[in-house]
Structure 1
Amino acid sequence: MIAKTFFGFEEILAQELRTLGAQEVEVGTRAVLFKGDKGFMYKANLALRTALKILKPIYYFRVFNEQSLYKGIQGIDWSKYIHENQTFVIDTTVHSDHFKHSQFVAQKTKDAIVDQFRAKTGQRPSVEKDFPDLRINIHIDRDQCTVSLDTSGASLHHRGYRTATNIAPINEVLAAGMLLLSGWDGKSDFLDPMCGSGTLLIEAAMIACNIPANINRKEFAFEKWNDWDNDLFDTVIDSLMKRVKEFHYSIKGYDKAPSAVKKTEDNIINANLEEYITVERQNFFETEKNNSGPLHIVFNPPYGERLDIEMEMFYKNIGDTLKKNYPNTNAWFITANLEALKFVGLKPSRKIKLFNGSLEARLVKYEMYAGSKRTKFQKE
């Protein structure tokens, strides 16, 4: 099978898969290949935090032109996967000199499938873009065509808990990946000082408690398959929920906008995580750390794309607040405003290249040592 992910998350997705019990894990570009049975396919969709989709390849063939594509698709017995009275949709990715348009590939694939059914039964399945019974993925790389079934359906970042959003909310998979890259393991207090609609807070709590990432999701594509096994699915859920653990630290979010605080609270309730997360209306720049223990901060500040603010001063305030008010803290944040990073006034100990949508970004880490604040005052 193939687990699709964002650039920069391949290694942590591979580690997630190994921890879950996947076999023959192999890292690719924005994807990780692995082997597993039907139960593991269910488990991967439910539990993986950094996967966007799980694809199940069913056929490979070489393709050079329209005729070889049509013949290759007809080489599959589609009655194993769909009935003539059901619906399907085709997603295509094309990197080939033989084909210029992915829509053309999708059209020829559709023709080959419906022609096969019409020849055998006199009837044909129909195309349904929004809620198909079967989602088919065609990937053409030069002269190699891979036909896969999309086991997930809608992208796995649709966790099911977020019904209220703020301006440009962070993608749930991106949030989970940032947290895992930051080393968040639930063994300290956690703070998101600019929490927006609460995605980082919720993903942090789910990681800390080992709650399956997609336990709140409404449906997966495989639930409409001919071989859907509801009993097996329930068994997989039960096994995953037995691994849920308690969390004995605090997870807190700040936002200065009352609307953001309300949206975060609503989403936390949707995720059934009220006992683990608290939210306060606070301006981060007017706060300070309230205990001497270690603190893990991860946040998603504005980049200039979303809000009308003075970026240089805003990022300077981030650095000043961390330096003066947050000793004994590891602080991570993502930004696509690489120029504004210069004004933080602190030297990052790590910089990781990521993408937030189409924007090239950096996930940066700043280490605030407990002695730095005392040293500063002694010099003064």
Structure 2
Amino acid sequence: MEDNFKMIAKTFFGFEEILANELKALGAQDVEQGIRMVSFKGDKGFMYKANLSLRTALKILKPIYTFRANNENALYKGISGINWSKYLNANQTFVIDATVHSDHFNHSEFVSQKCKDAIVDQFRERTGQRPSIDKAFPDLRINIHIGKDQVSVALDTSGNSLHQRGYRTATNIAPINEVLAAGILILSGWEGQSDFLDPMCGSGTFLAEAAMIACNIPANINRKEFAFEKWNDWDNDLFDQIVNSLMKKVKEFHYTIKGYDKAPSAVSKAKDNIRNANLEDYISIAEDNFFDTEKNSQVKLHMVFNPPYDERLDIHMEEFYKNIGDTLKKSYPGTNAWFITANLEALKFVGLKPSRKIKLFNASLEARLVKYEMYEGSKRTKFQVADKE
């Protein structure tokens, strides 16, 4: 049996615990939470499985070496100490992504260049040939992280960020990142046990992620490629075996998933994306203004959405957020409504008391994920009836 090795899954601030839970549920060993990352152990098959399945991971790295360096010579020497022919041939291409938090090194570009020189020089000395750089489609993506004087070298197993699921080809203004959407759905407790509505669905990201969670469809099943497919030890048969075993665990879904948007262009983009994800059987999308709609079934409703919060969108934010509160109150009894906003000022005008408030970041914006519980009838009536019994 193949040996387990350490891996690191990167994620957003606030998602560390749900990512750790996802990893444990998949069968990862030695799961440990950090900040915006979770480390774990698994074998090569598990590396494939993690990339295919994890909903809240942005990247999965395979660490290969750590050393200390407080100047450029020590950095060059440390990188030269790795036997790069294990991972790369002279006729292949590579690229280096560097992240630097150190007083000894100021620029990530400089660090990338120095590391590239060390790798290229090693090949030239040994073979007379050298691998070249390809930023767009490299055979090997190397991740260098420097914190103070600690240098960590890892292979990027994913390639492009894992939020690029492969189904979203059309987007609107300010679409929500797929990993952020999946994490919000998991934080909201969505497991597919009720009807679901995104009343401002934009390009349909929440709808697609909600359907994939409800049906246990692997998050990245529609991706065209992963970085590990170009590695020297790539095992196509093992990968196919992992895909087949994951697809056997897909389950049926017995409720409805709906999306509304008042913009015809958004509706048509969302429909295209849902078709790309092969999820049309589970999702219906209609052109409608949330403020003119009402809940049309007796079933408990789970609502998650990403309302506009940018003043540039020519919307009077205070009034808009007041309308959200009024519509929930008047037209959506029996609903758990969640939404994310970075407009913390406008949030005050919803006029309802949130039962949960979670701090997250949407790109660089500090945001809040809020939950409003809309009861059948008023909350007070509900408790009075319970008291009489």
CA distance in 2, matches of 1:375, 1:11: 37
Instruction: Give the deviation of 1:305 after TM superposition.
Output: 4.8
Q: Give unpaired runs (5+ residues) of structure 2.
A: 1-6, 383-389
- Residue 2 of structure 1 is matched in structure 2 by 8
* Distance 1:80-1:265 versus aligned 2 partners, 3 A rule: same
Equivalent of 2:300 in 290, 294, 300: 294
**Structure 1 position 244 matched with structure 2 position 250:** yes
Instruction: Give the deviation of 1:168 after TM superposition.
Output: 1.1
Give 3-state SS (helix, strand or coil) of 1:185's partner. Answer: coil
For 1:227-306, list aligned pairs within 5 A. Answer: 227-305=233-311
Cα pair 1:192 1:299 within 8 Å, conserved: yes
- Residue 27 of structure 1 is matched in structure 2 by 33
CA distance in 2, matches of 1:361, 1:306: 17
Equivalent of 1:93 in 92, 95, 99: 99
- Residue 174 of structure 2 is matched in structure 1 by 168
Q: Structure 1: which amino acid aligns with 2:100?
A: V
Instruction: Give the deviation of 1:165 after TM superposition.
Output: 0.8
* Distance 1:204-1:131 versus aligned 2 partners, 3 A rule: same
Number of aligned pairs?
A: 376
For 1:318-357, list aligned pairs within 5 A. Answer: 318-357=324-363
Instruction: Give the deviation of 1:63 after TM superposition.
Output: 1.0
Equivalent of 1:11 in 4, 8, 17: 17
CA distance in 2, matches of 1:241, 1:348: 38
Give 3-state SS (helix, strand or coil) of 2:359's partner. Answer: strand
Instruction: Give the deviation of 1:291 after TM superposition.
Output: 1.1
CA distance in 2, matches of 1:262, 1:67: 55
Q: Structure 2: which amino acid aligns with 1:256?
A: K
Equivalent of 1:220 in 208, 219, 226: 226
CA distance in 2, matches of 1:67, 1:263: 52
CA RMSD of aligned residues (A): 1.1
Q: Structure 1 vs Structure 2: percent identity of aligned residues? A: 81
Which contiguous aligned blocks of 4+ residues in structure 1 show a shift greater than 4 angstroms?
373-376
Equivalent of 2:195 in 189, 194, 201: 189
CA distance in 2, matches of 1:171, 1:151: 20
- Residue 311 of structure 1 is matched in structure 2 by 317
Q: Give unpaired runs (5+ residues) of structure 1.
A: none
CA distance in 2, matches of 1:37, 1:373: 51
Q: Structure 1: which amino acid aligns with 2:23?
A: L
Residue deviations 1:305-338 (CA, integer Å, cap 9, x gap): 5521000000000000001110111000000000
Equivalent of 2:149 in 143, 153, 161: 143
CA distance in 2, matches of 1:197, 1:306: 19
- Residue 108 of structure 1 is matched in structure 2 by 114
Give 3-state SS (helix, strand or coil) of 2:349's partner. Answer: helix
- Residue 4 of structure 2 is matched in structure 1 by none
CA distance in 1, matches of 2:313, 2:278: 30
- Residue 366 of structure 1 is matched in structure 2 by 372
Residue deviations 1:255-313 (CA, integer Å, cap 9, x gap): 01111111111111000011100001110001110012210000000002552100000
* Distance 1:107-1:305 versus aligned 2 partners, 3 A rule: farther
**Structure 1 position 200 matched with structure 2 position 196:** no
Give 3-state SS (helix, strand or coil) of 1:370's partner. Answer: coil
* Distance 1:100-1:94 versus aligned 2 partners, 3 A rule: same
TM-score (norm: length of structure 2):
0.95
Instruction: Give the deviation of 1:374 after TM superposition.
Output: 10
Residue deviations 1:67-99 (CA, integer Å, cap 9, x gap): 111111011000000000110000011111111
CA distance in 2, matches of 1:305, 1:48: 34
Q: Structure 2: which amino acid aligns with 1:14?
A: A
CA distance in 1, matches of 2:223, 2:92: 23
Cα pair 2:311 2:317 within 8 Å, conserved: no
CA distance in 2, matches of 1:263, 1:247: 24
Q: Structure 2: which amino acid aligns with 1:60?
A: T
Give 3-state SS (helix, strand or coil) of 1:190's partner. Answer: strand
Give 3-state SS (helix, strand or coil) of 1:371's partner. Answer: coil
- Residue 42 of structure 1 is matched in structure 2 by 48
Give 3-state SS (helix, strand or coil) of 1:340's partner. Answer: helix
- Residue 216 of structure 2 is matched in structure 1 by 210
